[in-house]
């Protein structure tokens, strides 16, 4: 869950794409064998592309029912995706990938590694008609592309996030879509455990998507060190403010100002752990054990 940063040159690439022309070119050629049979189904194909945009914008997912069956052409369409060419007017596939890779844009799924590849949000073997549709091509790192597997986009409830179509508008501007629940751990040498989950202010379906995503991409594990470091630093800071406040060493107004400054508003959806952790520690009651804990690291 990281906002996908679009490199500046992407706009020019996108403007140069004309899928009607691309489909004309593809179906006019004899290679790969069998592709020319699609020349009688061009309108159907273009309608599917329009439907993709409409359904994704409205429902954030494609319906299973009524999908045009292009599975007969999956080998040919996969070949076309794997062999971008100027002649077929599919060179935009390579250009899109290169512009994310060359600009070192971070993977929107995990937020850790740079983009290396394009993920077919809807798998190209199951829905080959979208095998080179730019809206279905999500730049991501190699690990996320490998982990995602085939069916993880199709479920109504169980699907990973989509950086092109998902939004978290139901949250207030200062509420992050993900929060962390920390648990004081009584075992020696462990001190604390945590779980990263969707903010419960989101609608239940969006929460399900985020939680499914966080689990599939193993966010807690990937970001463990960053989360842990940030936790101890911020928990200590909050305890200090609380102590000053409780012992009347600072005024209520001063305390509020300190807290406001700590929880700076941040409307992006990136894994901004400092912000997410401060928000989680202060706003989520279950995390308030940090104020009374006897853990050495919090003293």
Question: Where do contacts with Zn ion occur on this chain (CB under 5 A)?
Answer: 107, 109-110, 141, 144
Tell the smallest beta-carbon distance from residue 144 to Zn ion (Å): 3
Q: How far is the CB of 140 from Zn ion (least distance, A)?
A: 5
Nearer to Zn ion (CB atom), residue 32 or residue 142 = 142
| CA-CA-CA-CA dihedral for 58, 206, 279, 111, to nearest 10 | -80
Task: Give the nearer residue to Zn ion in terms of CB position, either 141 or 277.
Answer: 141
1 close to 213: Cβ distance less than 8 angstroms: yes
H or E element in which residue 207 lies: helix 204-217
Of the pair 88, 209, the CB lying nearest Zn ion is at: 209
Task: Specify the residue, 1 or 141, whose C-beta has the smaller distance to Zn ion.
Answer: 141
Complex with Zn ion: residue 80 or 217, whichever CB lies closer: 217
Three-state secondary structure call for residue 193 = strand
| DSSP-assigned beta bridge partners for residue 195 | 181
Question: Max CA-CA distance within the chain?
Answer: 82
Non-local (6+) Cβ contacts of 135 within 8 A are 52, 53, 56, 164
HSE of 140, CA atoms in CB hemisphere, 13 A: 25
Looking at 115-185, which runs of residues are DSSP E strands?
Answer: 117-120, 137-140, 178-184
User: Residues with Cβ < 8 Å from 192, sequence gap 6 or more?
Assistant: 182, 183, 184, 185, 228, 231, 295
**Judged by CB, which is closer to Zn ion: 23, or 107?**
107
């Amino acid at each position: 869950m990281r906002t996908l940063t679009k490199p500046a040159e992407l706009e020019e690439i996108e403007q140069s794409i004309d899928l009607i022309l691309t489909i004309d070119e593809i179906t006019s050629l004899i290679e790969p064998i069998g592709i020319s049979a699609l020349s009688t189904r061009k309108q159907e194909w273009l309608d599917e592309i329009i439907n993709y945009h409409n359904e994704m914008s409205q429902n954030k997912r494609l319906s299973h029912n009524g999908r045009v069956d292009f599975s007969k052409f999956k080998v040919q369409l996969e070949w076309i995706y794997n062999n971008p060419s100027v002649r077929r007017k599919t060179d935009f596939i390579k250009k899109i990938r290169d512009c994310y890779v060359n600009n070192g844009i971070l993977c929107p799924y995990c937020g850790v590694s740079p983009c290396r590849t394009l993920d077919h949000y809807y798998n190209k073997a199951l829905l080959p008609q979208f095998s080179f549709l730019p809206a279905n091509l999500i730049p991501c790192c190699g690990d996320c592309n490998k982990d995602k597997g085939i069916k993880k986009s199709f479920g109504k409830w169980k699907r990973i996030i989509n950086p092109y179509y998902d939004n978290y508008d139901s949250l207030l501007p200062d509420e992050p879509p993900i929060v962390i629940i920390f648990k004081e751990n009584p075992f020696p040498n462990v001190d604390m455990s945590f779980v990263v989950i969707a903010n419960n202010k989101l609608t239940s379906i969006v929460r399900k998507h985020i939680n499914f995503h966080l689990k599939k991409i193993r966010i807690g594990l990937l970001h463990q060190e960053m989360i842990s470091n940030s936790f101890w630093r911020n928990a200590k800071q909050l305890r200090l403010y609380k102590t000053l406040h409780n012992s009347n060493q600072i005024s209520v107004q001063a305390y509020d100002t300190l807290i406001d400054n700590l929880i700076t508003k941040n409307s992006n959806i990136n894994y901004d752990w400092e912000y997410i952790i401060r928000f989680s520690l202060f706003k989520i009651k279950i995390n308030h054990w940090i104020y009374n804990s006897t853990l050495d690291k919090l003293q």
